A and B are shown apart, each in its own frame.
Chain A
Amino acid sequence: MSAGSLAEHLRLACRYAGVSVRSQLQYRASFVMLALSQFVVTAIEFVGIWALFLRFGSLRGWTLAEVAVLYGMVHVSFALAEAAGRGFDLFPGCVRMGDFDRILLRPRSTVFQIAVQEFQIMRLGRFTQGVAALAWGAAAVHAVWTVVGVLAVAIGVATGAAIFYALFVLQGTLAFWTVETLEIMNTVTYGGTEAAQYPLSIYRGWLRTLFTFVVPLACANYLPAGWVFGRADAPGLPVLIVCPVVGAAFLGVCLWLWRFGEKRYVSTGN
Chain B
Amino acid sequence: MSAYAAVIGARFRVLLQYRAAAFAGFVTQIFWGWIRLMVFQAFYQSSAAPQPMSLPQVADYIWLGQAMLAMFPWNVDGEIRDMVRTGRVAYEMLRPADVYWVWFCRAVAQRTAPTLLRAVPLLALALVFFGMRTPPGAAEALWFAACLAGALLISSAVSTILNITLLWTVAGDGIARLAPSLILITSGMIVPVPFFPVPIRRVIEALPFRGVNDLPFRVYSGHIPATQAWQVLTQQLAWTMVLVLFGRWLMARGLKRMVVQGG
Q: Chain A residues in contact with chain B, CB under 8 A?
A: 27, 29-30, 33-34, 36-37, 40-41, 44-45, 47-48, 51-52, 54-61, 180, 182-184, 186-187, 190-191, 194-195, 198, 202-204, 207
Q: How distant is the Cα of A44 from the Cα of B180 in the complex, in angstroms?
A: 11
Instruction: Quote the shortest CB–CB distance from B51 to chain A (angstroms).
Output: 7
Count contacts on B: residues with CB < 8 A to the other chain.
Answer: 38
**Interchain CA distance A180-B184 in the complex, whole Å:** 30
Q: What residues of B have a CB within 8 angstroms of the CB of A34 in the complex?
A: 172, 177
The answer to whether residues A202 and B38 also contact, given A33-B178, A36-B178, A56-B49 and a CB cut-off of 8 A, is yes
Q: Are A207 and B35 in contact (CB under 8 A)?
A: yes
Residues of A within 8 A of B200 (CB): 51
Q: Does B134 contact A (CB under 8 A)?
A: no
- Of the A-B pairs whose beta carbons lie under 8 Å apart in the complex, a sample of 19, sorted by A's number, is A29-B171, A33-B178, A37-B178, A40-B182, A48-B190, A51-B197, A51-B200, A56-B47, A57-B46, A57-B49, A58-B47, A59-B46, A61-B46, A180-B20, A182-B24, A183-B21, A183-B24, A186-B28, A202-B41
In the complex, per-residue mask of B154-173: 1 if CB is within 8 Å of any chain A CB, else 0: 00000000000000000110
B42, A202: Cβ atoms closer than 8 Å: yes
CB <8 Å contact, A37 and B47? no
Contact B43 A59 (CB under 8 A): yes
A59-B38 Cα distance, complex, nearest whole Å: 11
Query: Is the beta-carbon distance between B21 and A52 smaller than 8 angstroms?
Result: no
Q: Which residues of B contact A55 (CB under 8 A)?
A: 43, 47, 49, 51-52, 195
- Chain B interfacial positions (CB closer than 8 Å to A): 20-21, 24-25, 27-28, 31-32, 34-35, 38-39, 41-47, 49, 51-52, 171-172, 174, 177-178, 180-182, 184-185, 190-191, 195-197, 200
* A48-B185, A51-B195, A51-B196 known; A204+B38 contact, CB < 8 A: yes
Please give me the residue from chain B that is nearest to A55 by CB atom: B195
- Sorted nearest first, the 7 A-B pairs with minimum C-beta distance are A183-B24, A202-B42, A30-B172, A48-B190, A48-B191, A37-B177, A56-B47
Q: Is the CB of B27 within 8 A of A187?
A: yes
Give the Cβ gap from A211 to chain B, nearest Cβ, in Å. Answer: 10
Question: With a CB–CB cut-off of 8 A, which chain B residues contact A60?
Answer: 42, 45-46
Closest to B172 in A: A30
Using Cβ atoms and an 8 Å threshold, which residues of chain A touch B25?
183
Q: A33-B178, A37-B177, A48-B191 are in contact. Are A56 and B28 (CB under 8 A)?
A: no
- Chain B, residue nearest A54 (CB): B197
A51-B191, A52-B191, A207-B38 are contacts. A27–B172 as well, Cβ < 8 Å?
yes
Which residues of the partner chain B approach A27 to less than 8 Å between Cβ atoms? 171-172
Contact between chains at B24 and A186 (CB < 8 Å)? yes
B185 contact set on A, CB distance < 8 A = 44, 47-48
B31 touches A191 (CB 8 A): yes
Which applies to chain B's interface (DSSP): helix, strand, loop or mixed? helix
B42 touches A184 (CB 8 A): no
Which residues of the other chain, A, contact B197 by a CB distance below 8 angstroms?
Answer: 51, 54
Are A59 and B182 touching (Cβ within 8 A)? no
How far apart are A189's CB and chain B's nearest CB, in angstroms?
10
Residue of B nearest to A37 (CB): B177
Contact between B28 and A191 (Cβ–Cβ < 8 Å)?
Answer: yes
Distance A51 CA – B191 CA, assembled complex (angstroms): 8
If the complex has contacts A37-B177, A48-B185, A58-B46, are A184 and B39 also in contact, measured as CB distance less than 8 A?
Answer: no
Given A56-B49, A203-B35, check contact A184 B28 (CB 8 Å): yes
Given A34-B172, A198-B39, A47 and B178 touching (CB < 8 A)?
A: no
Shortest Cβ gap from A39 to chain B (Å): 9
Distance between Cα atoms of A117 and B182 in the complex (Å): 33
Whose C-beta in chain A lies nearest to the C-beta of B180? A41
Nearest CB of chain B from residue A100's CB, rounded to whole Å: 21
Output the least CB separation between B79 and chain A (Å): 20
Query: A44 to chain B: closest CB distance in Å?
Result: 4
- Asked whether, in the complex, the Cβ of A40 is within 8 Å of the Cβ of B178, the reply is yes
Contact A57 B47 (CB under 8 A): yes
A187 B31 Cβ-Cβ under 8 A = yes
Given contacts A52-B43, A52-B195, A183-B21, 6 further A-B contacts (CB under 8 A): A33-B178, A44-B184, A51-B200, A55-B195, A202-B38, A204-B38
Report yes or no: B35 in contact with A44, Cβ–Cβ below 8 A.
no
